[in-house]
């Protein structure tokens, strides 16, 4: 059972997610989050030092969940290229997130640009994720399953770009294409190009 304190924390996070998505981060105040969550300002500040901290908690929880699912897909595969293909099946899950969550996700980029203190804190999880993917590609080079002439760093950025860019298009044009399939096909094209194993 969740403690009362944890229930309060989750209420704040889910109300904030909804309000940020609906009205934007800048146009949402702590008072509105408290009203929507049915908690006092005292309770809010007991859990979070600031509105910005709420925002970063939402982001981190999302990235941590995604990383651990990707790690599991890798562990269940024989080699790195197969692991990457297995990870591409997680795409459907990401695409099935509500549109409200997408909106929050892009809002995050805008906030990071406007507020240097958000940027400094928020860049850490992005770097952690990109470094994790680059290390995975490097381990593929080391095990002989990935072309050693590629740059693991640049390739990790390009793969992240592909998924981000397809999310951006899916978010904007949800019925324009079978976005999950397009993404799997894009990842497979990249992985086939860098793999030394038949896929």
Binding site for a second copy (CB under 8 A): 22-24, 26-27, 99, 102-103, 106-107, 109-110, 112-114, 119, 123, 126-127, 151, 153-154, 157-158, 160-166, 168-169, 171-173, 176-177, 181-182, 185-186, 189-190, 192-194
Supply the minimum distance, in Å, between the C-beta of residue 24 and a second copy.
Answer: 6
Question: With respect to a second copy, which residue has the nearer C-beta, 26 or 89?
Answer: 26
Q: Are 197 and 79 in contact (CB under 8 A)?
A: yes
What does the buried/exposed string (b/e) look like for 79-94 if buried means 16 or more CB atoms within 10 Å of the residue's CB? bbbbbbbbbbebbeeb
Burial of 20 (0-12, 13-18, 19+ CB in 10 A): buried
- For the bound state, the minimum distance from the C-beta of residue 110 to a second copy, rounded and expressed in Å, comes to 5
In the complex, minimum distance from the CB of residue 99 to a second copy, in angstroms, rounded to a whole number: 6
Nearer of residues 15 and 28 to a second copy, judged by Cβ: 28
Shortest approach of a second copy to residue 4 CB, angstroms?
34
Nearer to a second copy, 41 or 114 (CB): 114
Cα end-to-end distance, the chain, whole Å: 45
């Amino acid at each position: 059972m969740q403690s009362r304190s944890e229930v309060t924390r989750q209420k704040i996070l889910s109300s904030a997610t909804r309000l940020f998505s609906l009205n934007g981060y800048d146009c949402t105040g702590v008072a509105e989050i408290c009203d929507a969550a049915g908690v006092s300002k005292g309770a809010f500040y007991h859990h979070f030092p600031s509105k910005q901290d709420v925002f970063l908690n939402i982001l981190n929880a999302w990235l941590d969940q995604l990383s651990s699912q990707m790690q599991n897909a890798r562990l269940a595969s024989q080699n790195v290229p197969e692991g990457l293909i297995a990870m591409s099946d997680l795409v459907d899950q990401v695409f099935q997130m509500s549109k409200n969550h997408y909106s929050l996700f892009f809002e995050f980029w805008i906030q990071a640009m406007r507020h240097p203190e958000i940027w400094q804190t928020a860049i850490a999880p992005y770097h952690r994720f990109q470094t994790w993917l680059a290390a995975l590609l490097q381990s593929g080079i080391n095990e002989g399953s990935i072309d050693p002439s590629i740059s693991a760093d640049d390739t990790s950025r390009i793969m992240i770009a592909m998924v981000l860019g397809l999310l951006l298009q899916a978010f904007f044009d949800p019925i324009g294409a079978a976005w999950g399939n397009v993404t799997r096909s894009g990842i497979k094209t990249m992985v086939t190009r860098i793999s030394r194993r038949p896929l």
